[in-house]
């Protein structure tokens, strides 16, 4: 079914009986051209672009739980391309352009909302750094605006401008940034991929990666062996565990990142705001809840929940920038497990095993990258060579010294 105004009207009149499931419940066939391990946003986007843009339709996506049950459903839904380094800006801007056309491409309402992302600065040095980042973005054709304190006040009058320690002196705005409905992104990609013949196999965990003579031949799963001479891994926080099935060690550590929502309130925050003196970001969902997050838990963790002391740190950040938040009640908190790479940048590359490809190391920025990561990973799997925008995201860059240290503090293993 194609969604349209006419379908909406028709189903409104017939009690919604015309709606059909968005994707089939597929069972694995003995073999495919490509198997994608991981049914999150990235894996499903990869399958969609493989089928739509690269002519590879005989594809399975296998997922150990239900699709979107990992980090795709646990993030704070922010989309942006306000990066600094040449290795990162073109990639994230490719992603932003794909976000802008996503709903037409998928025929699905992903609630992409370009409400703007406002990064606050609190010192002259930080404003200089923002000017540099904004200029780097504009040189790459990305929109960026450095605004002063009064302009920030116009956008977000509720912030604590006169905080003694962290006065707000300005901000960097990317107006094309914003939010998207994370679950709808997953469902939209799943539906679009399914329509092109991709099998989405849920409750099917990869238990082994079978290779012969250095070439991948398929995936052992809890639903039996599935043959494929091209396999893509897209499993976020579980990257090291799945790579270990092929005896690979990765430049990745897994950490828990928490997110929080408050009770619903009337419209207050009409953009995404990030606090520059700590690590805190907040937006308001269309239901009215304020959605926010901060730092990782400090030790490696595969638990999809976080520590209380990190929550109290996030809450202190919140109070420093937006004291009114102290009057709201927190409804829920949850955690996702992040694949933190050693330089803070992702990996989209072939592996030493022929036919086995890897997409991971997204740190806590995987959601915004969903369309671009899917597109570039599909390009790599279909053509055997990297897409230009993702060419720097190599697996061997740590050995060759070509790290992409976006934070400008050097290669920082142990510093997450």
Partner 1 sequence: MLINCPYCGPRDLLEFTVKGEARARPDAAADLDSEASRAGFVDAVYLRDNPAGRHKEHWLHASGCQSWLVIERDTRTHEIFGASLVASDAEGAKS
Q: Give the footprint of partner 1 on this chain (CB under 8 A).
A: 238, 240-241, 244, 249-254, 298-303, 307, 309, 342, 398-399, 411, 413-414
Sheet containing strand 34-37, edge to edge, reads 199-201, 59-62, 34-37, 231-233, 356-360, 347-350
Q: Looking at beta carbons only, is 199 or 343 nearer to partner 1?
A: 343
Of 325, 323, 326, the C-alpha closest to 161 is 323
Instruction: Report in angstroms how near the CB of residue 109 gets to partner 1 at its nearest.
Output: 36
| 285 torsion bin: left (phi>0), alpha (psi -120 to 50), beta (else) | beta
Q: Looking at beta carbons only, is 192 or 243 nearer to partner 1?
A: 243
The residues that bridge with 147 in the sheet, in sequence order, are 171
CA 49 to chain CA mean position, Å: 17
- Between vectors from CA 390 to CA 256 and to CA 92, what angle results, nearest 5°? 65
Instruction: Report in angstroms how near the CB of residue 244 gets to partner 1 at its nearest.
Output: 8
Q: Looking at beta carbons only, is 102 or 252 nearer to partner 1?
A: 252
Instruction: Report in angstroms how near the CB of residue 360 gets to partner 1 at its nearest.
Output: 11
Pairing of strands 117-121, 170-174: antiparallel
Q: Looking at beta carbons only, is 225 or 311 nearer to partner 1?
A: 311
Q: Looking at beta carbons only, is 53 or 247 nearer to partner 1?
A: 247
270 SS3 class: coil
| Alpha-carbon span 371 to 292, nearest angstrom | 23
Using the CB atoms, write b or e for 175-192: b if 16+ within 10 Å: ebbbbbbbebbbbbbbbb
Instruction: Report in angstroms how near the CB of residue 343 gets to partner 1 at its nearest.
Output: 9
- Helix 89-106 × helix 370-383 angle, to 10°: 90
Q: Looking at beta carbons only, is 215 or 305 nearer to partner 1?
A: 305
Instruction: Report in angstroms how near the CB of residue 249 gets to partner 1 at its nearest.
Output: 4
Sequence length of the chain is 416
| Alpha-carbon span 388 to 153, nearest angstrom | 40
Instruction: Report in angstroms how near the CB of residue 165 gets to partner 1 at its nearest.
Output: 22
Q: Looking at beta carbons only, is 307 or 333 nearer to partner 1?
A: 307
Instruction: Report in angstroms how near the CB of residue 97 gets to partner 1 at its nearest.
Output: 32
């Amino acid at each position: 079914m194609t969604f349209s105004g006419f379908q909406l009207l028709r189903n409104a009149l017939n009690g919604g009986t015309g709606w059909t499931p968005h994707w089939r419940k597929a069972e694995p066939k003995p073999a495919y051209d490509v198997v994608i391990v991981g049914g999150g946003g990235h894996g499903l986007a990869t399958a969609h672009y493989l089928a739509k843009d690269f002519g590879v339709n005989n594809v399975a996506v296998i997922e150990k739980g239900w699709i979107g049950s990992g980090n795709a459903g646990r993030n704070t839904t922010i989309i942006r391309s306000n990066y600094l380094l040449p290795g990162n800006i073109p990639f994230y801007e490719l992603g932003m352009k794909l976000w802008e056309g996503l709903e037409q491409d998928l025929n699905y309402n992903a609630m992409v909302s370009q409400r703007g992302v406002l990064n606050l600065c609190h010192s002259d040095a930080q404003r200089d750094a923002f000017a540099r980042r904004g200029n780097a973005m504009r040189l790459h054709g990305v929109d960026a605006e450095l605004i002063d304190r009064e302009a920030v006040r116009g956008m977000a009058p509720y912030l604590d401008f006169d905080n003694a320690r962290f006065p707000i002196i300005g901000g960097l705005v990317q107006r094309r940034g914003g939010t998207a409905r994370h679950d709808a992104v997953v469902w939209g990609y799943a539906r679009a991929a399914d329509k092109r013949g991709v099998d989405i196999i849920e409750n099917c965990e990869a238990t082994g990666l079978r290779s012969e003579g250095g070439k991948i031949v398929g995936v052992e799963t809890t639903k039996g062996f599935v043959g494929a001479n091209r396999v893509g891994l897209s499993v976020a926080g579980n990257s090291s565990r799945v790579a270990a099935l092929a005896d690979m060690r990765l430049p990745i550590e897994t950490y828990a990142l928490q997110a929080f929502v408050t009770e619903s309130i009337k419209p207050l925050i009409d953009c995404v705001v990030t606090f520059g003196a700590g690590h805190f970001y907040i937006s308001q969902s269309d239901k009215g809840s304020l959605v926010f997050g901060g730092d990782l838990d400090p030790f490696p963790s595969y638990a999809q929940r976080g520590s209380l002391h990190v929550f109290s740190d996030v809450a202190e950040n919140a109070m420093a920038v937006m004291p009114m938040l102290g009057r709201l009640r927190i409804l829920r908190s949850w955690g996702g497990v992040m694949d933190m790479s050693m330089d803070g940048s992702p990996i989209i590359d072939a592996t030493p095993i022929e036919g086995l490809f890897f997409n991971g190391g997204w740190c806590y920025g995987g959601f915004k990258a969903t369309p671009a990561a899917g597109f570039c990973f599909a390009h790599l799997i279909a053509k055997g060579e990297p897409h230009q925008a993702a060419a720097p995201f190599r697996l061997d860059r740590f050995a060759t010294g070509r790290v992409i240290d976006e934070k400008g503090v050097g290669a920082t293993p142990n510093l997450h």
